[in-house]
């Protein structure tokens, strides 16, 4: 027997590398010191403009959004989702991305699907100014079903030590500003799939007038990066704390940046609800607390600023047409809890 008889095709791996070489190289900056294919990726750490650089790292996945991508046979957007999600996670502490690595595992490696995924990686890396410097592609029959695959992303960014965003200066009276997003981002898909595909029996190509799109189009909207609108605010030192609204929604993510003896009140109705969330709540009869702990409810990123800086913050954010800013709440006395009012 040969390795191929056991379900691992080395030739498919070689083909995959050839397909993605140009895509990967298109993201390289002058700090990248190695080409694709090495055992380790080298990145020049002499970062100009930083006196006390702090490296910030994170890793994450796309979750069961991949199931929707497989159902719709559309794989380029999940690559963008993963990069942007990781960028947002380190942005919370004020870091700008330097480089990104990926892990892709298949039941049976399909070079065409991998190429689409990496195309998404490359697009998002270019948009965020970071380099795709390495990764791992694994073919694992018996671990994953034939036709299934999984993704993980790893990012490293940098921030000046004195400008780290820690949330320590947050105090009662500060203003909570929410930045709008376009859909579920990369969280809550297990519940969304159960409601839409199992309970309602929809297909990815089912058109729903209430959301003005097909189910697949609504669920595969790209998780946006908030680096663009947030960076000018960081440069002006306007931000006290930030939260990326991912798994855990409002109720679990906002407390991660709050100091002791501070809580947050979120004013329901202070921003327009996205139709996809109204649909999910109605069709699934999902309790309100579950909605706000599972989904982002149309707010993808949260900033906490001093009351005196709120107007300037909103004015600067409004320059970015893709994202709409809303004052959605306030910091109050409390014990790191979020209350919906």
Which pLDDT tens digit goes with each residue over 100-110? 999 999 999 89
Is a pLDDT exceeding 70 seen at residue 327? yes
Task: Give yes or no for residue 214 having a pLDDT over 80.
Answer: yes
Q: What percent of the chain has pLDDT over 90?
A: 74
Sequence spans of domains, the chain: 3-163, 175-340
* 223 CA to centre of own chain: 6
CA angle 316, 262, 260 (to 5 degrees): 120
- 16 has a pLDDT exceeding 80: no
**Does the pLDDT at position 276 exceed 70?**
yes
Amino acid 89: pLDDT: 96
Residues facing residue 154 across a β-bridge? 59, 101
- Give the model's pLDDT for residue 5: 58
Instruction: Identify the pLDDT of residue 3.
Output: 62
**From the CB of residue 57, how many other CB atoms can be counted at a distance below 10 Å?**
13
Read off the pLDDT of each residue in 286-311 and give the average, rounded to a whole number: 94
Helices 76-91 and 111-128 cross at an angle (nearest 10°) of 40
List, for residues 178-195, the tens digit of each pLDDT value.
999 999 999 999 999 999
What's the confidence (pLDDT) of residue 2?
72
Determine the pLDDT at residue 21: 76
Average of pLDDT values for 136-144?
A: 90
pLDDT averaged over every residue in the chain: 92
What CATH number does the domain located at 175-340 have? 3.90.650.10
Give me the pLDDT at residue 6, please: 63
**Beta strand spans in 201-289 (E):** 207-208, 213-214, 241-244, 262-266
Greatest extent of the chain over all pairs of C-alpha atoms, in Å = 72
Encode pLDDT of 42-80 as tens digits.
888 888 888 999 999 999 999 999 999 999 999 999 999
Residue 115 has pLDDT above 80, yes or no: yes
Alpha-carbon gap, residue 99 to 156, rounded angstroms: 6
What are the residues whose beta carbons fall under 8 Å from the beta carbon of 153, sequence distance 6 or more? 59, 60, 61, 82, 83, 85, 86, 100, 101, 102, 103
* Structure confidence at residue 20 (pLDDT): 78
What fold is seen in the domain 3-163? Answer: 60s Ribosomal Protein L30; Chain: A; (3.30.1330)
Q: How confident is the model at residue 211 (pLDDT cuts 50, 70, 90)?
A: very high
The stretch 221-228 carries a mean pLDDT of 96
The pTM of this model reads 0.93
Residue-wise pLDDT for 150-166, tens only, equals 999 999 999 999 999 99
């Amino acid at each position: 027997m040969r390795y191929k008889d056991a379900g691992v095709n080395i030739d498919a791996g070689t083909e995959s590398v050839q397909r993605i070489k140009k895509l990967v190289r298109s993201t390289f900056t002058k700090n990248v010191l190695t080409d694709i294919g090495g055992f380790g990726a080298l990145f020049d750490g002499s970062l100009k403009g930083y006196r006390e650089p702090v490296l910030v790292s994170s890793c994450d996945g796309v979750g069961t959004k991949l199931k929707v991508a497989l159902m719709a046979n559309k794989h380029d957007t999940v690559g963008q989702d993963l990069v942007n999600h990781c960028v947002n996670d380190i942005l919370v502490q004020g870091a700008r991305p330097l480089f990104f690595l990926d892990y892709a595992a298949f039941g049976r490696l399909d070079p065409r699907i991998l190429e689409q995924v990496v195309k998404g990686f490359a697009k998002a890396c270019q948009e965020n100014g970071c380099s795709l410097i390495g990764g791992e592609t694994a073919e694992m029959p018996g671990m994953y079903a034939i036709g299934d695959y999984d993704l993980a992303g790893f990012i490293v960014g940098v921030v000046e030590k004195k400008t780290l965003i820690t949330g320590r200066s947050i105090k009662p009276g500060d203003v909570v500003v929410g930045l709008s997003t376009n859909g579920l981002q990369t969280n809550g898909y297990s519940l969304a799939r159960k409601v839409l595909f199992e309970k309602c029996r929809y297909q990815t190509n089912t058109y729903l007038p209430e959301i003005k799109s097909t189910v697949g189009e609504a669920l595969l909207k790209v998780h946006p990066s908030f680096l663009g609108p947030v960076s000018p605010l960081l440069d002006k030192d306007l931000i006290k704390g930030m939260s990326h609204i991912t798994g855990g929604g409002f109720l679990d993510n906002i407390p991660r940046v709050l100091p002791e003896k501070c809580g947050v009140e979120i004013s329901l109705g202070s921003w327009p609800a996205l139709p996809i969330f109204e649909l999910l709540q109605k069709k699934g009869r999902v309790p309100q607390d579950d909605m706000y702990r599972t989904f982002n409810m149309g707010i993808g990123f949260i900033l906490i600023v001093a009351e005196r800086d709120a107007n300037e913050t909103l004015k600067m954010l409004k320059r970015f047409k893709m994202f709409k800013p809303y004052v959605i709440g306030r910091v109050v006395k409390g014990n790191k809890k979020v209350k919906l009012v």
